[in-house]
Amino acid sequence: MRELSNREIFLSIDTDSKNIWNEYTDDERTQIIKKKFWLLNRYISLVNGKRDSQEWAVIATNELYNKNWAVISKHYKLLWQLLCCTHDVKRKTRSHGWIPLKKKGSSDTKTKFLLDLYPNKKQDEVELLANISTKAELQQLAQDLGYEKRDVKF
């Protein structure tokens, strides 16, 4: 079984090769279906280059590919064709980047302290509380709960 590379897939999408889906073997289609469709969304929407190319990549991906994802997510050939529609008018290969997932957690000491204090609260609620609380208020809260002043630094 031949492993499809991301580069090969990007080339097909960038050159508007909608019909290549029919030329792929069942194994190659399965590779795209199982591991690549969701990832392709993140790669295709980020293009290195001029601003108008970058904007087009985001708009085309959102309007053509992401819209109604839940309804069409099992129609693999249609998903492939919609991805191919995100190409630019030149139909030349573009340099695609990766949009990393948002990191969970925070490196902010106030947020870490509050997460330890309120483990059942949602992340965004704790971050909001950390943003609206002053350092003095949190130090007072820590002292009221029995923390030593030297143990709590903000």
Let me know whether 10 and 66 are in one domain: yes
Instruction: Tell me, yes or no, whether 101 lies in a domain.
Output: no
Q: What pTM value is reported for the model?
A: 0.61
Instruction: Tell me, yes or no, whether 129 lies in a domain.
Output: yes
Give pLDDT, residue 43: 84
**CA 3/CA 145 separation, integer angstroms:** 57
pLDDT at 32 over 80: yes
Let me know whether 143 and 86 are in one domain: no
Let me know whether 71 and 118 are in one domain: no
Let me know whether 127 and 83 are in one domain: no
Per-residue pLDDT of 97-123, as tens digits, reads 777 766 665 568 899 899 888 888 888
Give pLDDT, residue 73: 86
141 Cβ contact list (under 8 Å, min separation 6): 117
Let me know whether 141 and 74 are in one domain: no
* Number of structural domains the chain divides into: 2
Let me know whether 90 and 115 are in one domain: no
- The string of DSSP codes covering 19-60 is THHHHS-HHHHHHIIIIIHHHHHHHHT-EES-HHHHHHHHHH
3-state class (DSSP) for residue 99 = coil
Let me know whether 17 and 80 are in one domain: yes
Domain boundary residue, one of 58, 74, 96: 96
Let me know whether 12 and 86 are in one domain: yes
Give pLDDT, residue 21: 93
Q: Is 46 exposed, middle or buried (0-12, 13-18, 19+ CB in 10 A)?
A: middle
Instruction: Tell me, yes or no, whether 1 lies in a domain.
Output: no
In angstroms, the Cα distances linking 3 to 7, 14, 28, 45, 73 are: 11, 19, 7, 23, 23
Helix (H) or strand (E) holding 96: strand 95-96
Instruction: Tell me, yes or no, whether 89 lies in a domain.
Output: yes
Instruction: Tell me, yes or no, whether 125 lies in a domain.
Output: yes
Let me know whether 70 and 115 are in one domain: no
pLDDT at 88 over 80: no
Let me know whether 114 and 146 are in one domain: yes
3-state class (DSSP) for residue 74 = coil
Give pLDDT, residue 77: 94
Let me know whether 23 and 51 are in one domain: yes
Q: Which domain holds residue 137?
A: 109-151
Q: Is 49 exposed, middle or buried (0-12, 13-18, 19+ CB in 10 A)?
A: exposed
Instruction: Tell me, yes or no, whether 74 lies in a domain.
Output: yes
As given in the structure block, the two tokens for residue 153 are 């630094």
